């Protein structure tokens, strides 16, 4: 279990993160979500013991990250930001080097490295020099080195950044397959990633945690309203006032009046009530033409924007 | 302990995957060979003394090139973070890298033993001063390495690391020049600090414990400062 309490990191007088606290239980996959510069990488570096916090402390598996640094590092797999690798080394040689540093015993090293290369799908490039590999493969090598030594905890800083969509899906699948027996923290600023791979999301903005929940709960909690978007042929004001009379409707906005008396309306309602039927009826009963109607629930994307942008 | 050798091995391997080691090694052999043969021609004397003084000057120029990438490249590529979050101590990383540079240097130096072989084949040199000169060059060269490694912890840029390394080594080399013009205490202090004054004895054939201690403490000091310099990220 990872326990961060009141982490603050200041560079000069500027705080990169402030009072960041969270607990991560064994077996969880937690997504650290935030815009660039929110303090994700700083937090990760503190978690791995690369830099100390100005105040606060981190415990991983009951051990303090700074007092028992070596012991913690043994249990930790870390992929730093931008996937730094020794570009001049061959994949297998590199992984064996990492295995030696991770104190994997000499007789088990070859086997262990082969197994991890298979898991990460890089056994076909084992003899290649890392700098000749594509971005996707480099990323896999980065994840592979984090997996060396079977760490209980994996910390991945933006594991899918810069990859093409196919590679992103592959890396996601890989992370999901690892989730079975590991506690994983991954940071990202890509939203679908979180809803697809993580059991919990921590949203961080300007160095502070602004929300923390499962992806589903976040959606539910923050999107108390559902929106229905309508395009109707008819007089705007009149339609708007008629629709307001329907029970369950919270408010009606006229989005824009298009040419030739078309009106776009946004109708907000409670989330758990579906008012589309009533809306359609109301429009038709008044002899207006209903051209389009769709329901929108606030997605993670909007929640994220809502939480991380200042009004 | 094992981590040190793991790192040493990796560093040695990367020396020889880049052209730097080959170039430095070759140029060292060209220059030291030139000095040895020219001095031999002129003096017609079976002695290593002249060549030894020139070999150390060659090393003064070349050694910063061996050490310049040790930490600057790790910093630039971000691999320092990769390395330092593995279960290895900072001091192990430092010693591993120092040892790698030392092994390369010792190999370079050992290849000049050919000259000694030539001397013994065609002349009858006094072997005592030769071995003591070798010991002196070894200790002095290792000091250059320690200082060069420190320089490479200061910057991400290899060229800057080399320039700083070279400047520091040269400065400490010529520190004694000024000593005659200062007061008694300052003069003694400056010539004690200077790298070159401690080599004189070795080249003449005198192994002075004071000089050995000087070089060893010089090495330990700069490696210690280098470890602190790497840890500086933790204090920012």
CATH number at residue A255: 3.30.70.3190
Q: Is residue A308 part of a domain?
A: no
* Together in a domain, A29 and A10: yes
* Together in a domain, A128 and A33: yes
* Together in a domain, A253 and A154: no
Boundary-marking domain end, from A193, A221, A249: A221
| Confidence at residue A311, expressed as pLDDT on a 0 to 100 scale | 45
Residue of B nearest to A81 (CA): B78
| Confidence at residue A224, expressed as pLDDT on a 0 to 100 scale | 59
Residue of B nearest to A75 (CA): B87
* Together in a domain, A140 and A235: no
* Together in a domain, A72 and A187: yes
Q: Is residue A163 part of a domain?
A: yes
Q: Mind telling me how many Å the CA of B147 is from chain A's nearest CA?
A: 24
Phi, psi for residue A132 in degrees, rounded to 5:
-85, -5
Structure token pair of residue B162: 């080399």
Best of B76, B87, B158, B232 to disrupt the A interface by mutation (most A CBs within 10 Å)? B87
* Together in a domain, A123 and A244: no
* Together in a domain, A8 and A113: yes
For residue A89, the chain B residues in CB contact (below 8 A) are 10, 13-14, 17
C-alpha gyration radius of chain A: 25
Contact B86 A97 (CB under 8 A): no
pLDDT digit string, tens, across residues B162-187: 999 999 999 999 888 776 666 677 77
Q: Is residue A306 part of a domain?
A: no
| Confidence at residue A193, expressed as pLDDT on a 0 to 100 scale | 74
Report CA B192 to chain centroid distance, whole Å. Answer: 18
Using the Cβ of A86 and the Cβ atoms of chain B, whether some distance falls under 8 Å is answered with yes
Report, as an integer, the average pLDDT of B76-105: 95
Contact A84 B2 (CB under 8 A): no
Best of A100, A131, A149, A155 to disrupt the B interface by mutation (most B CBs within 10 Å)? A100
Among A11, A73, A84, the residue with its CB nearest the CB of B77 is A84
* Together in a domain, A205 and A244: no
Residue A153: exposure state from Cβ atoms within 10 A (0-12, 13-18, ≥19): buried
Q: Is residue A311 part of a domain?
A: no
Q: Is residue A17 part of a domain?
A: yes
Structure token pair of residue B35: 């000095």
Among B17, B87, B89, the residue with its CB nearest the CB of A102 is B87
| Confidence at residue B166, expressed as pLDDT on a 0 to 100 scale | 95
For residue B6, the chain A residues in CB contact (below 8 A) are 97, 100-101
Best of B5, B79, B85 to disrupt the A interface by mutation (most A CBs within 10 Å)? B85
CA-CA-CA-CA dihedral for B22, B26, B28, B32, to nearest 10:
160
Residue of B nearest to A66 (CA): B234
Using the Cβ of A88 and the Cβ atoms of chain B, whether some distance falls under 8 Å is answered with yes
Report, as an integer, the average pLDDT of B153-159: 94
Structure token pair of residue A126: 């084992």
Match 């919270």 to its residue by tokens.
Answer: A250
- Give mean pLDDT in consecutive 10-residue pieces for chain A, a chain of 311 residues: 90 88 90 85 92 91 90 93 92 95 92 92 92 91 93 91 81 84 86 80 86 76 70 82 79 73 79 79 85 74 67 45
* Together in a domain, A214 and A241: no
* Together in a domain, A51 and A163: yes
Boundary-marking domain end, from A221, A256, A286: A221
Q: Is residue A202 part of a domain?
A: yes
* Together in a domain, A165 and A191: yes
CATH number, position A81: 3.40.50.300
Using the Cβ of A50 and the Cβ atoms of chain B, whether some distance falls under 8 Å is answered with yes
Best of A68, A86, A149 to disrupt the B interface by mutation (most B CBs within 10 Å)? A86
Structure token pair of residue B172: 């400490």
Best of A12, A101, A138 to disrupt the B interface by mutation (most B CBs within 10 Å)? A101
- What is the total count of domains within chain A? 2
Using the Cβ of A145 and the Cβ atoms of chain B, whether some distance falls under 8 Å is answered with yes
Helix (H), strand (E) at residue A101: helix A91-101
Phi, psi for residue A185 in degrees, rounded to 5:
-115, 130
Boundary-marking domain end, from A188, A221, A254: A221
Q: Is residue A310 part of a domain?
A: no
Using the Cβ of A52 and the Cβ atoms of chain B, whether some distance falls under 8 Å is answered with yes
Residue B65 has pLDDT above 70, yes or no: yes
Contact B78 A81 (CB under 8 A): yes
Using the Cβ of A292 and the Cβ atoms of chain B, whether some distance falls under 8 Å is answered with no
Match 């470890």 to its residue by tokens.
Answer: B227
Using the Cβ of A98 and the Cβ atoms of chain B, whether some distance falls under 8 Å is answered with yes
Q: Mean pLDDT lowest for which of A248-257, B55-64, B120-129?
A: A248-257
Using the Cβ of A11 and the Cβ atoms of chain B, whether some distance falls under 8 Å is answered with yes
What is the DSSP-derived secondary structure letter of residue A34? -
Contact A100 B88 (CB under 8 A): no
Residue of B nearest to A95 (CA): B10
* Together in a domain, A81 and A172: yes
Residue B62 has pLDDT above 90, yes or no: yes
| Confidence at residue A212, expressed as pLDDT on a 0 to 100 scale | 84
Q: Is residue A302 part of a domain?
A: no
For residue B1, the chain A residues in CB contact (below 8 A) are none
Contact B81 A50 (CB under 8 A): yes
State the DSSP string of chain B: -HHHHHHHHHHHHHHHHSHHHHHHHHHHHHHHHHHHHHHHHHH----SHHHHHHHHHHHHHHHHHHHTHHHHHHHHHTHHHHHHTSS--HHHHHHHHHHHHHHHHHHHHHTTHHHHHHHHHHS---HHHHHHHHHHHHHHHHHHHHHHHHHHHS-S-HHHHHHHHHHHHHHHHHGGGGGGGS-HHHHHHHHHH-TTHHHHHHHHT---HHHHHHHHHHHHHHHHHHHHHHGGGGT-
CA-closest candidate to residue B172, choices B215, B125, B202: B215
Q: Are strands A183-188 and A29-33 parallel, antiparallel or unpaired?
A: parallel
Q: Domain of residue A275: give its range.
A: 224-297
Residue B40: exposure state from Cβ atoms within 10 A (0-12, 13-18, ≥19): buried
């Amino acid at each position: 279990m990872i326990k961060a309490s009141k982490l603050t990191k200041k560079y000069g007088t500027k705080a990169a993160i402030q009072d960041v606290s969270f607990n991560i239980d064994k077996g969880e996959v937690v997504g650290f979500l935030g815009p660039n510069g929110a303090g994700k990488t700083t937090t990760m570096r503190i978690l791995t013991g690369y830099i100390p916090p100005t105040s606060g402390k981190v415990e991983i598996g009951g051990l303090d990250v700074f007092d028992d640094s070596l012991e913690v590092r043994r249990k930790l797999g870390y992929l730093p930001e931008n996937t730094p690798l020794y570009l001049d080394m061959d994949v297998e040689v590199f992984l064996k080097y990492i295995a030696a540093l991770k104190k994997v015993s000499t007789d088990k090293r070859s086997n262990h490295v082969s197994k991890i290369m298979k898991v990460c799908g890089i056994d076909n490039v084992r003899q290649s020099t890392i700098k000749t590999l594509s971005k996707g493969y480099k990323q896999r090598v980065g994840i592979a080195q984090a997996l060396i030594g079977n760490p209980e905890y994996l910390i991945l800083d933006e594991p899918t950044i810069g990859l093409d969509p196919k590679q992103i899906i592959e890396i996601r699948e890989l992370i999901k397959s690892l989730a079975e027996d590991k506690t994983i923290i991954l940071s990202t600023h890509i939203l679908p990633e979180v809803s697809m791979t993580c059991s919990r999301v921590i949203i961080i903005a300007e160095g502070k945690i602004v929300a923390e929940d499962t992806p589903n709960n976040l959606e539910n909690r923050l999107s108390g309203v559902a929106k229905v978007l309508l395009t109707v042929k008819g007089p705007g004001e009149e339609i708007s006032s008629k629709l307001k009379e329907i029970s369950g409707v919270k408010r009606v906005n006229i989005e824009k009046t298009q040419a030739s008396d078309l009106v776009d309306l946004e109708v907000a309602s409670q989330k758990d009530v579906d008012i589309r039927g009533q809306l359609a009826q109301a429009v038709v009963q008044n002899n207006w033409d209903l051209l389009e109607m769709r329901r929108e629930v606030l997605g993670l994307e909007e929640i994220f924007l809502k939480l991380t942008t200042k009004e | 302990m094992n981590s040190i050798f793991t790192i040493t091995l990796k560093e040695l391997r990367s020396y020889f995957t880049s052209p730097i080691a080959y170039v430095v090694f070759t140029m060292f052999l060209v220059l030291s060979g030139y000095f040895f043969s020219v001095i031999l021609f002129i003096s017609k004397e079976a002695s290593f003394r002249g060549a030894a003084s020139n070999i150390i000057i060659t090393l003064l120029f070349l050694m910063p090139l061996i050490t310049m990438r040790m930490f600057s490249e790790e910093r630039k590529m971000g691999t320092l973070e990769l390395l330092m979050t593995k279960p290895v101590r900072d001091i192990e990383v430092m010693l591993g890298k120092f040892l790698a540079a030392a092994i390369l240097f010792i190999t370079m130096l050992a290849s000049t033993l050919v000259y000694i072989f030539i001397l013994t084949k065609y002349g009858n040199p006094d072997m005592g001063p030769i071995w003591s000169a070798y010991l002196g060059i070894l200790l002095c060269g290792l000091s250059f390495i320690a200082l060069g490694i420190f320089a490479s912890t200061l910057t991400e840029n290899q060229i800057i690391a080399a320039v700083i390394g070279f400047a520091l080594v040269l400065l400490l080399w010529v520190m004694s020049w000024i000593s005659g013009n200062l007061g008694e205490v300052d003069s003694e202090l400056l010539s004690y600090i200077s790298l070159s004054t401690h080599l004189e004895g070795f080249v003449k054939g005198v192994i002075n414990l004071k000089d050995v201690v000087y070089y060893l403490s010089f090495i330990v000091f700069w490696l210690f400062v280098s470890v602190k310099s790497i840890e500086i990220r933790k204090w920012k």
